[in-house]
Amino acid sequence: MLGLGLGLAVAIPISFLQIFAPQPFRLLASAYERVLRSIPLLVTLFLLFYGLPSFGIRLAPFTAAVIGVGLRSSAYQSQIFRGAILSISENQFRAALAMGMNKIKAFRHIVMPQALRLAIPPWTNELTIVLKDTSMAFALGVVELVRQGRYIIVATREPLLIYLTIAAIYLILTLLSNNTLGRLEKRLRIPGIGVEERAR
Amino acid sequence: MNKEKGSVLRIEDLHKSFGDNHVLRGVSLEIKRGETKILIGPSGTGKSTLLTCINMLTPPDSGKIWLLNDEITASRKVNLLRQKIGFVFQDFSLFNHLTALGNVSIGLTKVKGMDRKKAREKAMEELKQVGLGDKASSYPAQLSGGQKQRVAIARALAMDPQLILFDEPTSALDPELIGEVLTVMKKLANQGMTMLVVSHEMGFARSVADEVIFMEGGIIVEQGPPAQLFSNPRVERTGEFLSRLSSLFGEEDEK
């Protein structure tokens, strides 16, 4: 959850940089996003946890896991938002400027409400992935769901049962979150882009 | 409406290039209060560029534009001046996430800071003005092209503009939907709205235009009252273009 939050917090500025910033920043943001999308999460985690101490930065396993999951997710999420924003026709933006809105207002009142709606389905998908990726934190010794299960297995000698339980918990969490966002998506739906004017 | 014959829009020697493409090569033009002028000409001639220069969506390279007493081209308050210039796009450019009413009222609430209830009332009036009072709660995707364009006109009207620019307002419409939009525009012209319209609807030009302006190659080739321009153009190119238009559109009674 924290990882997803961090991912979101980093992703939005990154997507803005990629779309609106002058060339050098845009390249920088693109490079960030490419690199993080290209490295396996496990390697990112190991780099953070085992690699950073060489620079004198020692992270707690949990912190390293949150940062690792968060950074990687930010790269994917930035793509979601970039795509959503770019898919809103520029003409609507121009029309907003033409009636006297400044760029910030035009973005906030015209582009964003539409882009956010478009971003919900892919974002739900990303949430599902991040949720399951938390199991990677196992490798750093964080006591997450899988490690907790291992402890229980040691005590009970019931690996099949316990792993099935873990699978079930992931399944339930995923279904639950997808369901919630699916309902949000429906509630915000407007004909044409799947929305209606927001309840204010 | 206001009867004084002051000029609402004045353009002086406007130039604009995109790279090597010199689109506007010195356009000068004036529109007085209550006048409707129709801009015609082959495509790629700079008509649309001229319109977007007027509200600075496309900043011109040189030349001056005045709206009433404000020089738009020198102003730092472009957003303020844009409120006084309505713009109707060829592709409507409605805000897809807002209802017809929302499209018309959003400028009032977010730009003019009007309170929501008043804005809705005014927006409703404007929608009725274009004959769409019953479509207030429809979203753009639920409207026909002609209805969308009428919403776009209502959206422009709601801001109480000094001038409305129309960029080929009917050319994205099916033929049977063009009439409803032109009817609304005629009504506006008759009510004394000041309008500059890029359009090749010659019937419309004949019935409402105070002046028709023929542009080609980035300059104004000829301008004059429709009757004169259509029946007796002074420049050969104008005649050629007009007769090509008429044969294309099967213009009714061109003699």
Note the residue count of chain A.
200
Domains and CATH numbers, chain A: 2-134 (1.10.3720.10)
Residue A104 φ then ψ, to 5°: -65, -45
Q: In sequence order, what are the beta bridge partners of B165?
A: B87, B196
Regions of chain B where pLDDT drops below 70: 1-5, 249-255
Q: Using an 8 Å CB-CB cutoff, list chain B residues near A111.
A: none
Residues on chain B touching A197 (C-beta within 8 angstroms): 97-99, 102
- Interface A–B counts its CB contacts (< 8 A) at 80
Q: How confident is the model at residue A191 (pLDDT cuts 50, 70, 90)?
A: confident
Condensed to tens digits (0 to 9), the pLDDT of residues A53-104 reads 888 888 888 888 888 888 888 888 888 888 888 888 889 999 999 999 998 9
- CB-based contact, A109 to chain B, within 8 Å: yes
Nearest to A98 among B82, B94, B141 (CB): B82
Q: How far does B225 lie from chain A, in Å, by closest CA?
A: 29
Alpha-carbon distance B216 to B242, whole Å? 12
- Say what the pLDDT of residue A157 is: 86
Give which of B48, B70, B97, B103 to mutate to test A binding, by max A Cβ within 10 Å.
B97
Task: Out of A8-17, A98-107, A186-195, give the one with best mean pLDDT.
Answer: A98-107
ipTM score of complex: 0.86
* Minimum distance, in Å, between the CA of residue B233 and any CA atom of chain A: 35
The answer on pLDDT for A173 being more than 90 is: no
Pairing of strands B195-198, B211-216: unpaired
pTM above 0.90, yes or no: no
DSSP state string for A4-23: HHHHHHHHHHHHHHHHHS-H
Give yes or no for A84 touching B (CB within 8 A).
no
Interface test with B, best of A99, A102, A193 (most B CBs within 10 A): A99
Element (H, E) at B30: strand B21-32
pLDDT-based confidence at residue A194 (cuts at 50, 70, 90): very low
Output DSSP code: residue B35.
-
DSSP lists the bridge partners of residue B37 as B196, B211
Contact present, B158 and B86 (Cβ < 8 Å): no
List chain A residues with CB under 8 Å of B142: 191-192
Contact A105 B102 (CB under 8 A): no
With cut-offs at 50, 70 and 90, classify the pLDDT of residue A141: confident
Measured at the alpha carbon of residue B238, what is the angle toward residues B236 and B244, in degrees to the nearest 5? 105
Per-residue pLDDT at B213: 94
HEC per residue, chain A? CHHHHHHHHHHHHHHHHHHHCCHHHHHHHHHHHHHHHHCCHHHHHHHHHHHHHHHCCCCCHHHHHHHHHHHHHHHHHHHHHHHHHHCCCHHHHHHHHHCCCCHHHHHHHHHHHHHHHHHHHHHHHHHHHHHHHHHHHHHHCCCCHHHHHHHHHHHHCCHHHHHHHHHHHHHHHHHHHHHHHHHHHHHCCCCCCCCCCCCC
Residue A53 CB neighbours (<10 A): 11
H and E: helices and strands count for chain A:
9, 0
Q: How confident is residue A31, by pLDDT bands cut at 50, 70 and 90? A: confident
Among left, alpha and beta (phi > 0; psi -120 to 50; other), residue A2 is alpha
Which residues in chain A are contacts of B117 at CB distance < 8 A? none
Q: Give A188 or B162, the one with higher predicted confidence.
A: B162
Tell me phi and psi for residue A57, to 5 degrees.
-105, 115
The predicted pLDDT at position A15 comes to 66
- How many angstroms from the chain centroid is the CA of residue B231? 25
Query: Which residues of chain B lie closer than 8 angstroms to A192, CB-CB?
Result: 96, 139-142
Determine the straight-line distance between the first and last CA of chain A, rounded to whole angstroms.
Answer: 28
Cα Dmax for chain B: 55
Instruction: Please report the pLDDT score of residue A17 as a whole number.
Output: 67
Cα separation, A194 vs A192, whole angstroms: 6
Q: Is the pLDDT of residue A13 over 70?
A: no
Say how far apart CA B225 and CA B217 lie, in whole Å. Answer: 21
B159 vs A99, A195, A196: nearest CB: A99
Closest B-chain CA to A190: B97
CB B84 within 8 A of CB B164: no
Q: How far apart are CA A22 and CA B114, in angstroms?
A: 35
How far is residue A1's CA from residue A133's CA, in Å, rounded to a whole number?
A: 11
**Cβ(B32)–Cβ(B5) below 8 Å:** yes
pLDDT at B32: 94
pLDDT, tens digit (0-9, with 9 covering 90-100), for A108-121 = 999 989 998 888 88
Residue A196: its chain B contacts at CB < 8 A?
99, 139
Output Rg (C-alpha) for chain B, integer angstroms: 18
Residue A192 forms contact with B (CB below 8 Å): yes
CA distance B157 to B17: 31
CA distance A105 to chain B (A): 8
Hey, how many other C-beta atoms are within 10 angstroms of the C-beta on B179? 15
DSSP B91: T
Distance between CA A127 and CA A74 in Å, rounded? 11
Identify the pLDDT of residue A12: 67
- In this prediction, residue A169 carries a pLDDT of 87
**Helical (H) or strand (E) element with A92:** helix A90-98
What are the C-alpha distances in Å from A98 to residues A86, A127, B71, B117? 19, 38, 17, 23
Residues shown for chain B:
255
* pLDDT given for residue A151 in this prediction: 87
